[in-house]
Structure 1
Amino acid sequence: MWRYWVGALAGVLMAAAALFLFRASATDDVVVPPPPMPAVVADPAETPLPDRLPEAAPATREERRFNRYDKDRDARITRDEYLASRRKAFAKLDKNGDGRLDFEEWAVRTTTKFAGADKDRSNSLNRAEFATTAVKRRAPRRRADCPPAPSPADADEG
């Protein structure tokens, strides 16, 4: 029987708390800030467009590529810097970490590429040597030149 009394008392207390919360929120004066001023937008018709889009020079692309490899920014790429991306890929392939995938076997192509580019055998690449390791990209394929589609007036005549 005492559980009923405790339940009833809890219900009365909850109703009283709800009443106090409702009255407290109804009497609060909420200050709403004014809306922000609209941004001034320039008329697109007044803004002249450039004659052609800016392009990155091939030297700039090569400069960025060199800087990605040259981690210590000493204007030289050491063998370790050159192979760092391969080491990350190796770690991803060796999921269980037992080291059974031999790095030198896996990276033989990159090691050979580095050795071929390192003409002075200094075990580091200068800018000119590094430029020879750039990936040879294929020229973009051109779209076929198709004759224009006949107009609807030409189709009605035939």
Structure 2
Amino acid sequence: MWRYFVGGIAALLMAGAGIFLFRGSAAPEPVPPAPRAMQTGAAETEPQTVAEVPRADRSREEKRFDRSDKDRNGMVTLAEMQQPRRKAFAKLDKNGDGTLSFEEWTVRTSTKFADADKDKSGGLTRAEFAATAPKRRAGAGPRCNCRAEVARALAEAADE
């Protein structure tokens, strides 16, 4: 028991000595003054301009505004707001007439329907409709039938 007592006192003495050594060991060095800029003849009279540095603490809305303001004039015009939608519209407007028909808007569905309608009857039979099912990923594997597995596990547990 006395060993623990002596060890505790020794630890406290060492901690106290460490505190005194680290606190009083070195005085902080004074910070040297900033260097003066080198000035040459004509530059002495002209004020120096510093390029605006982008802020790192911009909010989400400020970043969104900056992405939309394409000409960087501090205002977002209607044309700037519509520009991303114009590109998407141009991709869908297949005939380039400036209007979007229902068929152009549903081009993916229309193409999928036309490819599945093998007999060109204007309708899909059950077999043709089954061909429109989304393709499963190769690595996905069969889905788990959890209800059947739980029922089987409960039945096995009841048999034991």
TM-score by length of structure 2 reads 0.25
Q: What TM-score does the superposition give when structure 1 sets the normalisation length?
A: 0.25
Higher relative contact order (CA 8 A, sep 6+): 1
Structure ID, larger Rg: 2
